Each structure stands twice: as structure tokens, then as C-alpha cells.
Amino acid sequence: MSQPNGTYAFYPGCSMGVSARAYDQSFRRVAEVLGLEFQDVDDWNCCGATEYFTLNRLPAYSLVARNLSLAAGMGKEDLVAACSACYLNLHKTDSYMGKYPDLNEKVNRALAAGGLHYDPGTLRVRHLLDVLVEDIGYEAIGEHVTQPLKGLRVAPYYGCLVVRPESNYDPEYPTHLDDLMRALGATVVDFPLKTHCCGGHMTQISEETAYELLRRLLANAAEYNADVIVTVCPMCQLNLDAYQSEVNRVFGTDYHIPILFFTQLIGLAFGVAAEDLGFGAEIVPADEALKKIGQEEAPKPRTPRRRDKKALPMPPPLS
């Protein structure tokens, strides 16, 4: 294993505690079974997602570098992110600071205002999928399987961020997630659009474009009779799950494909109860998929939490 003691610095990111709580819950249960320890970076801040870098790059890099500096202070070799956008921004910032001395100098000048500093290359930025595949391995993961996902047809969806240049994945046709699902006993279906974009935040800018991108992904999974789409990215999961009904409305389709996090399926195969893996939070019910692998009673969907009246008002729609 890369970390002799199985301990990693972990960058949670914003979505893991809100829209992707099932991801956070399931990944921590899986880590517990595998004997891995993830220590959250203290006082972390938002990575800027994909938008901030298009607005003002120096502050964007500086904000991300702040997280790198805080993580470096933990004395760990690896910094792990489960969110693909967080992973990309952390990896990119570390890489660019190392490649461009002028950027490195400016970013560290900004960090110095807060009493921080970061030397690029101090940390190895990694995605959670990479840790499970490279440090644990398919065989060892398979040894923990007590309830194989036999008969479950899975479409592995990587999205466009985790396979960007300089990652450990083949950007055209990655197979890490495919092979991991096979190690759990699942049937992996062909999914040619496995690295195509889900639209990201395009749902807030151009619904027509966003829904078409989502329709293509759902159609591709349906074409190969997938029972579920499994993903490694909170944004991909949110878009395909939350807007699936809108895709059906706009295009007259009838897709009902559950969108799950890969750690949820790992947990099920390890024998962890569905309710302990965040099931029930998904909008498109996973009941039928769970029944195929012997989970007779799926957790009931949670009642949506009402917005606090004292909370800040929602911004007006773009004109």
C-alpha cells in the first residue's frame, strides 16, 4: 500500500455534506471495512468547483492552494478527494504551481497573508477510486465480498473530470471502475459514453443543452439494459438523478435508472446494510435494483428538508 499505516489526508469538499451525503456515508463505511483511515483536512474551504477558475484565476488557485497547505501540515503523503471536481482542482493547482514559477510565487504570496505556504509536489493528490484500486486492489476487495452483486447490470460512469490529463486513467476508455464492479460480482455493461460530460452546472445556464447531454447518457445506459448507473462524481450523480424526470418530460422518454455512488455498491457487496450506505436519499428509487441482489426492503426515501425561512433568499434567475 502507498500509505504504510493506511492513513490519508481527506479533502471533503462542499457536496459531501449536503447533496452527496450518501457518498460520504458509504465511503466511510467502506473505509472502515477495509481498515483505511481518512483524516479530514481541518478548516478546509471550497475548491471553487469549475466556475471560479473561469472568472479570476489567481484567487482561484490561491483558494485551492490554501487547502493544499493545510493538508501538507498534516504530515501525510497523499491527499484524497472523493469529488471529481475537487480532485481536478487540487491536482491542477499542485501541478501548475510546480510548472509555472511565476504562478507559484504569486500564490504563495497570497498564502503568506494567512500565515501559510505550499511547496508544489509535497502532496500526491488522488481520487478515492484510485486509492481503492491501486492501494487495496481488486483481489483484496473481492476477499471482503460477502454478498456478490450477481445479476446486477451496472453502467460505470466516470464523467469528464476524473479522466482529465495527468490522471491515472485512460482519458478515452478508462476501466478501473469497470473492473472494480466486476470484483464485486456485478455484470458490467458496455457504456460508450462513460467519459462524456453530464453538463455540470449547465442546468442553471441552458436547460436545453443540459437535458440533451443527460438524455444521451440515460439513453446509452438504457440501450445496454443497465439496472443502475454508478458514478464517482457528486455532480454527475446529482444531475442524472435530480433531472431525470425533467429529461422524461422534455423528450417524452420514460427512464427510471437509479444513479448510485460506487461506494454504495461496494458497501452492499461487503454486507453493509443499505440504510447505512445512504440508500433512500436518491430521487430515482433503487428498490428494483436492490431486490435483484437480495435486498428485499429498500430504505424509504427521506422527506426533503424544508428551507429555513431565516436562510438567505435564492438569487433571481438569470435574464
Kindly state the average pLDDT of the residues 17-21: 93
Kindly state the average pLDDT of the residues 220-231: 98
Q: Residue with C-alpha cell 428498490?
A: 287
Query: pLDDT band for position 174 (50/70/90)?
Result: very high
The residue extents of the domains of the chain are 7-128, 146-292
The mean pLDDT of the chain is 91
Query: pLDDT band for position 301 (50/70/90)?
Result: low
Query: pLDDT band for position 168 (50/70/90)?
Result: low
Q: CA–CA separation, 86 vs 84, rounded Å?
A: 5
Strands of 123-278 (E only): list them: 124-127, 153-157, 187-188, 228-231, 259-261
Q: CA–CA separation, 207 vs 212, rounded Å?
A: 8
pLDDT of residue 49: 78
Better-scored residue on pLDDT, 141 or 17: 141
| Residue 127 DSSP code | E
pLDDT tops 50 at residue 4? no
Q: Residue with C-alpha cell 430515482?
A: 284
pLDDT of residue 56: 82
Query: pLDDT band for position 278 (50/70/90)?
Result: very high
Largest CA distance in the chain: 59
pLDDT tops 80 at residue 72? yes
Query: CB within 8 A of 83, min separation 6: which ones?
Result: 13, 15, 16, 20, 47, 233, 234, 235
Query: Class of 7-128 per CATH?
Result: mainly alpha
Tens digits of residue pLDDT in 266-275: 999 999 999 9
Better-scored residue on pLDDT, 172 or 248: 248
Q: CA–CA separation, 280 vs 195, rounded Å?
A: 27
Share of residues in the chain with pLDDT > 90 (%)? 81
Query: pLDDT band for position 307 (50/70/90)?
Result: very low
Q: Residue with C-alpha cell 488557485?
A: 61
Q: CA–CA separation, 132 vs 128, rounded Å?
A: 6
pLDDT of residue 314: 47
pLDDT of residue 297: 63
CA dist 87 → 149, 161, 163 (Å):
28, 8, 10
Written as one string, the DSSP assignment of 7-74 is EEEEE--SGGGTTTHHHHHHHHHHHHHHT-EEEEPTT-----TTTHHHH-HHHHHHHHHHHHHHHHTT
Kindly state the average pLDDT of the residues 100-110: 98
pLDDT of residue 50: 73
| Residue 5 DSSP code | T
CATH topology of domain 146-292: Rossmann fold (3.40.50)
pLDDT tops 70 at residue 60? yes
Grid cell, residue 257, equals 435508472
Q: Residue with C-alpha cell 471529481?
A: 84
Q: Which residues pair with 130 in a beta bridge?
A: none
Grid cell, residue 262, equals 460506487
Q: Which of 53-57, 277-281, 298-302 has the lowest mean pLDDT?
A: 298-302
**DSSP helix/strand/coil, 228:** strand
Q: Which of 7-11, 137-141, 263-267, 290-294 has the lowest mean pLDDT?
A: 290-294
pLDDT of residue 309: 52
pLDDT of residue 1: 42
Query: pLDDT band for position 157 (50/70/90)?
Result: very high
Contact 38, 81 (CB under 8 A): no
Kindly state the average pLDDT of the residues 11-16: 96
Query: pLDDT band for position 3 (50/70/90)?
Result: very low
Tens digits of residue pLDDT in 176-193: 999 999 999 999 999 999
pLDDT of residue 308: 55
